Structure 1
Amino acid sequence: MGTSYSPPLNTDGTPDLERLLVEHRFLTESIHASSLPIAIYDDQDVLFIWNEAYEVLFQKAFDELREQLNSQQARYADIVRATNEGTMSDADLEEYVARRVAAQRAPEGTTIERHYPEDGWFRIHKSVTPSGAVSDIAIDINELKQREEAIAAAQEKAGEERRRLENALEALEDGFAIYDADDRLRVFNSKFIEMHSQLSDVLKAGETFESLVRIGIQRNLWDLDDEDPEEWLQNLLRNRRENDTFESIAKFQDGRWMRRLETKTPDGERVGIRADITDAKMREFDLEDARADAETATRAKSEFLANMSHEIRTPMNGVLGMAELLSRTELDAKQQEFADIIMKSGNALLTIINDVLDFSKIDAGQLVLNTQPTHLGEIVGDVATLVAATAAEREVELITRIDPGLPENVIADGGRIRQILINIVGNAVKFTQKGHVYIEVFGPIYGEVAEVTFKIEDTGIGIPEDSLDKIFESFNQVDSSATRKFEGTGLGLAICTRLVGLMGGKIGVDSQEGKGSTFWFTVNLPVHGEIPKKVRPEADISSSRVLLVDDNDINLSILKEQAASWNLSVSAVSGGPQAMKALWSAVESGTPYDLVILDYHMPQMDGAMVAQCIRNDARLSGTKIIMLSSADGSVANPAISELKLEGHLVKPVRAAVLQDTLTSVLSNEKAAVPACSPQAPGAPAALTLADLVANAQAAEERKSPKMQANEPPAQNDVEKPDWEPPAEPEEPRQEEPGDTNALDILVAEDNDINQVVFTQILQETPYSFKIVPDGAEAVACYESNHPKLILMDVSMPEMNGMDAAKAIRELEETTGAHVPIVGVTANALRGDREKCLAVGMDDYLAKPVSPAMLKQKIADWLEAAAEAANTA
C-alpha cells in the first residue's frame, strides 16, 4: 500500500509557504520523536534528515563525518564507507560501497539485515519517493534472530540424531525400509535403492508399496515365472495384509534372489528388511546343477548315439541292401550299379568312422602331429583335385590361389592341414548351389616363420547369425532339425578346431545367411628351404603376349597375377565377344597374341565357340589355345577334339602345371609362328563381332528348353561358322511304377541310394509303388493316388515324416479312411517307436532294412488292410 501527498496551495494556486513550513516542522519532529532509526537522503544521495536513533546506530560514521553532516554534504556512500572501514580490504570495501549505492535506488526498494557490534541485528528498509528521495527505516530484529538461532540449534540437534540413525541404517548389509500406516514409503537406506536400482527414479518418500511393485512389474524387474502379473501382485498384497509378520522370496530378472521380511509396529507402520540371498540360492542349486550336468551328459551321449545311428545306418542300409541283392544276381550292368552303390555307402561309412576315431583321439589327447617338410601348393592342389568332380557336378566354380610371396615349403603336418581343408572345402561345395568356392593361401613372413592363413570363401547358403558362435562345437550343425537337407555328424568342424588348436593356430568364420561364408584358419609354420624346387624348362617365354578369357573376376585376377610373375605380357577380357574383338584389334595393330587361355564355361559364347571362331579365322592361325574346364568332361567330345587345342587343363589348375604347360606351348616352334598377313585367298570370310553374338544367341536358343514347339528358330542373314556346338543329349525318361491312380505302396524317402534300394526290392513284388523325396510330396500323393500302404522315412527335407503323418491323419478325419503308415528311421533308439505311434503311424521299421523284412512287413499290412475292407 502506498501513500499520497498534496502540497498546500493559496487561493490563487501558488504554494502556501507558511503551511509548508508547518508541515516540514511536523515531519521533522515526527522523525526525531521515533524510537526507530530513520533517515532521508535527497535525490543526490545526500543525507539531510535523520533522528537520534539513526545517528546512534551509525555512531562511528557520524563521528567521522560531522563536518560534512553539518554542511549537508555527507552522502550515502560516505556513511557506508565510514561504517565498514577496517572490516575489509580497501578494494573489497570500495566494491561493497558500489554495490550498496547501486541497490540504494532500486525502484522496488531494498531490505538488508546487518549486525552492529553495539546494537546487534537490524533490518533496514529502503524506499524511493516519487521526487527521488530515499527513506531508511531500521527495525531491531535481535529477538527474532535469537528465536531463529534457537530453532537452528534444535534443528541441528535433530539433524545430528537423524544422521546417526541414517549412518546406522547405511551400515546394514541389507536393504531397510519403513512404510507408514497408509503403506507409504517413509524411510529407506541406499542398500534398498541398490537392490531395486531399476526403481531408483521413483523410490521417493510418499510412494505406496503397491505403486512401487506395479512399476517394477512394468519395468520387468522380477521374474514371475510366467505367472499372470496382476494375479502375482494381488497374492503378494493379500499375504502382506493378512500377516503382521510377512516373508516372501522374489527372483529378479537379472538372476538375483531376495528375501522380503516385514514386521508391523503397534502404530500400524511396517519395518522391512530386504536381504540378498543369491549366494545361498546358488548353493542350494548346486545339487540341482550337478544332477542337471549328469543329465546333460547323458543327453549328449544319447544325441551323439542318435546322430551316429542315423549317419551310419543310412549308408549301411545301402551297403547291406545292395550286398544282398548283388548276391542274387549275375554279373551284368545291374551288378555294376549295385557295386557302385556299395562303394559309395562304404566310403560314407568310412568317413564317419574316421571322424569318430579322430575326435576320440583328440579328446583323449592321443593325437600327435607328424611335422615334416611340406609343399603348400601340393596340399592345396590335392584338395582341389579331390573335390573338383563334386564341384563340377554342382556347377560350382572351384578357384585356388597361393600368394606368390609365400615360401613353397614349410614344416607342418601336411596330412592334417589337408584334412582340415578337405572338410571345410567339402562343406563349402556341399552348401553352395551356384557361384564359386575360392581357396586362398596367404600371409606375412616373420624371419624364419610364415604366418599362413588358409581362407575358403563360398557363395552358398550362409550361416544364421545365432549359429555362428556354436558352429565349431562338437556334434553341432547349422540345421539340426528333422527337415535338414545336408547330413553329417557335426564332428567335422569340431575336429578342424581341435587340429588347428594343436598346431597353435586360430580358426574362425564370417558369414551372412543367404550370401555365403568365409572360413579361415591361421597357423605359424617354420620356413623350410631344403626341398629342391622342380626344375622348370629353361625356354624363354618372357614377353610373350597372352590373352586371358574368363567371365569370373576372381579367376582372371589369379591368372593375371600368375602370368605376370612369369614375365608374360598379359591382357584380360571377361567374355567371348570381347575376346574376339581384342584378338582382331591386336592383329590390326601388328601385335597379335601368341596364346589365348580360354575358359570353357562362359555365358553368350562358351569357350568352344570362341575356339572355333579362332580356328576359322586365317588371320588368327598363329594363335595357340589352352582351354580351361571343370572336371565334368565338357570338352571330352569329338567336336572339341577336332579344334586341335594346344592344351586342355582341368580347373582348378595348379600354378606349376599351368607354368609348365605355358612354357611347353609357347616355346614349341615359337620362331615359326607366322607373322600377320592379309587373309589368304579362298579363306572363309572373318565374322564380325555382331555375327559372333548373333550366332551364340541362336545356339543358346536351339539348346533352350523354354522354346515352344511351334516357335521357329532364330534366323540370321550373316554367314554362320561351319562348326556349331553339339546338341545336349536328352536324358531318358524313367517311368516309375505306380504312375496311375491305382497305387498299392507310397514310399517317402529322400536319400537317393535308399530310393534305389526300395526300387530294387519293390520291383520283385507284385505291388505298384511310387517313391517321393519328402513329406510334402507324400501328402500330395496321398490325396491324389490313395495308396493302400505308406512307408514313411522320418528324417526328410521340407516336411519330415512325423509332420507328414500328422497331415495325412488330419485329412482322414474328414473322409473316415485310414491308410496304414509304417515309419522308417535310422535312429533305432529306445522311444523311437513310441514317437512314430504318437503322431499316428501304425508301425515302425529301423534301418538298415533287409529285403525279407520289408516284404514281410508290406504283406502283413496289405493283408490287414484287405481284411478290414472286406469286413467294412
Structure 2
Amino acid sequence: MTLADKLAEERRARLAAERLLELKQTELRAANEKLSKHALNLSRRIDETRAEVAHVRDENLKFRTDLDVANEKVELAERRLWHSIQTIRDGFAFFNSDGLLIGANAAYLAAFEGIEEVKPGISYGRIAEILIDEGIVNPDPMTAVEWLGMMLARRHDPKPPPLVLRLWDDTYFRVLEQPGYDGDRVVTSLNITDTVRYEEELKAARYRAEAANRAKSAFLANMSHEIRTPMNGVVGMAELLAETTLTEDQRLYAETIRNSGEALLVIINDVLDYSKIEADKLQLHPEPFDLERSIHDVAMLLQPSVRDKDIRLLVDYDIFLPTRLVGDPGRIRQILTNLAGNAVKFTEKGHVVIRVTGRNDNRTCTIHIAVEDTGIGIPADQIEHIFGEFNQVESEMNRQFEGTGLGLAITHRLIDMMGGTPWVESTEGQGSCFGFHVTLPVASAVEADPASLPQRLKHAMIVDDMPVNRQILERRLAQLGVRVTSCASGHEALAQMDESVDIVLSDHHMPGMDGVVLAETMRAEGWDNTPFVMMSSNPHFDKDQPGRNCVQAVLQKPVSRRDLLQVLSIEAAQEVNAPCADCPAALLRPGGTPCIQMRRQACATNGPPIFGDGCDSPSRPAPVPPLARRMRVLAAEDNRTNQLLFEKMVKDLDIELTFAGNGAEAVEKFASFAPDIVFMDISMPGMDGKEATCRIRALEAQAGTGAHVPIVAVTAHAMEGDARSILDAGLDEYLTKPLRKAQILDRIAGSCPADARAPIAAFEPRTPKARAAL
C-alpha cells in the first residue's frame, strides 16, 4: 500500500474517529443533560420531602404540646370537680357495670364512720349489708331482711325510684341512682334532715291551726246559738207586741226593738259568713228555684224600709226570660238583699230598681241583674275598693249609715263562687248601679207561656207619677202586643180616657189625685165596665179602705210579672150574677159583674184562692165537717221565754198545743199525744233534738203504719253544715231562730191532716197523699 493510500486511510480513519467522537460527545451531552434534569428533579423532590418532614415534625410537636395542655386542663378540671364534690354536704359514689365502687366523696363515706372495708373495689351489695349489720340505717317499718332485699333489687333496676334513708341518729338522706354509660351507676345521697324536720314542724303547725280553726268554729257556732236564743225572744215578742193595740209612742218603741234586733242579726250573719269565707268553708247548694219569686221576696222584705223613707222599690224582670233556674236560692237572695238593701239604705229620695235582663239558649240562661238607685253615690277614687273587707265609703254624707262593711265583700265572693262577675258604676251625688252577671242552668220544669192574654185585651192605660215605673210596665205590656197609654197623673188619665181602654193600672199614692180618688172619679163619670187595678205598696189596703169597692184588684208593689200576667189573663166562660162580697171572681168577664174583692187570700167561707172561678165554681173543695177534731201540735223547747213566745204566736189558731221541756219528754209526749206536727228545738239538756227525732222515727217504724209526722227543727244553730246534720237526723225542715210568726203559721197550716179542721181559715187541710209528700 502506498503511502498516500495509507495516509488517505489514516485520514479516513481519523475522520471516522472524529465523527464517532462527536457522536459520543453528543450522546454524552444528552446523557449529561438528562442526568442533570433528573438530578434537578431529585433535588426538588428531596427539598419537598424535607419540607414535608419538617411540617410533620412541626405539627407533631404542636400536637404533643396541645395534648399536654389538654391533659393538664383535664387533670385540673378533675381536681376541681373532685374538690367540689368533696366539699359539698351531699354524698356521691360511682359504681362500674359490675357493681364495684370506683370512687366516693367524703360525705358519702362519712356515714360509714371510718369502716376501712368501704373503699374503692367494694361491691354495691356489700355496702348495703354493712349499713344493716352495723346498725347505720333504721329500716323501720321494714325488717332488716326486707330492707336488704329491697336494696339488692334496686341494683338491677334500670330506673330505681328515689329512696329516703333514715340513719341511726335521725338523719335523713334522699338517695338517687342514675344509670350511666355502659352499665356504670352514679349514686347521690342528699341530706334532707332540715327539710324533713321542717315538714314535721309544718304538720304540727297545721294541726295546731286546724285545732284553732275548729275551736274558732265551735266558738262562732256557740256564739251564734247563744245570741240567737235570746234574740228569738226579743224579736218575736216585739213582733207580737206590734200586733196589739198600742199608742203611737208604744208602737214606735216596739218597732225600734224589732228593727234593732233585725239589724243585730244581719251583723251576726255577716260575721258568720265572713268566717266561713276566711276558712274556705262557704259552699253552694244548687237546686231548682224561681228567680223572679226570689227577687220579689227580697223586695217584700225591704218594703218596711222603703215605706219609712218614702221611696219607690221597683222590679223590672224581662218578660221573655225564664224564671225557673238551677242555683242556690238562699245565696242568690243574700246577694240581692245586700245589693238592694244597700241601695235602699243610701237612697233618701227617688227610687231603687232591680232590673233583670239576659240571654236564654233553652239549656242555660245568662242573667244580668242590676240594682239602680238615686242615692248618694260613690266617689270615683273609692269605687275600686268598694268590694273589699270592712270597707265603707268615708264621707260626710254617709256617716249616718251603719254596717259591718262585710256585705259587699261577701257578695263579691258569692258571685265568684257562682262563676259570675260583679261590677259597679256610680256618680257621686246622683246614684249608683251595682250588678252582676251569672250563667245558670234552666230548670227542666216547663213554664207557662207568659204571653198568653185574652184577645179582648188590646189597650191598657198606665197611671203613675214615676217615669221609671211607667217605662217598666210599658215595656212589659208592649212585649205582649198591648197598646199602652201612659199618664203621669190622675187628671191626665181622666183627660185621655176613652172607650178603647180595656183596663186601667194605677199607682196608689200619687201627688194631687191618688189612685183611690181616680177610681172613684172614673166610676162617677160612667166608666163602670172598665176594670181598675190598683198597684199599692200598702199591705193593709183592703175592703175597709174608702173607695175600695171601685177597685177590682190590688197588686202589691213591686208588681211581679206573674201576678201582673195572672190579673190580665183571667177570663170566665160564664157570667157570675151574685158573687159574695169576698169572692175573688174573674177580673175581665165579658158582660159579667166583676167581684169587688180580689185579694191575695182565699174567701174565708167558701171561696177558692185568688184568681179562681166564681162563687159557684164546682171545683171548690167541700167544707170540712164542723165536728172534725182540732189539729195537735207538739213543741219541744227547754227555754221558758221561747215557750211563751211560741204560745203567743199560735194563740189565734184552732189547735191543741202542748210543750215538752227536753228530748226525752218529747219522745214520751209523741207517743201519748199523737201530734200532727212537731217543732223540735235542737239544743236541749239531756236528750237533744236530733236524738229525740231518731227515737220518734224508730217509733214510727215499729208501728208499721207508714205514718210520717213532720218534724221541724227550731234552732239557733246557723253555721255551715248544721242544716245537713240536722236533716240527716230525720227532721223534715230547718228554721233558724229568731222565728217569724208567718213561718210557724205556714208550717202548721201546711201540715194539717185531712181528718182535722183547718187551724187557719185561709188554708185547706192537706190530703194524706199531700201530707206524706212533706
- What range describes the TM-score normalised by the shorter chain of this pair? 0.3 to 0.5
TM normalised by structure 1 equals: 0.37
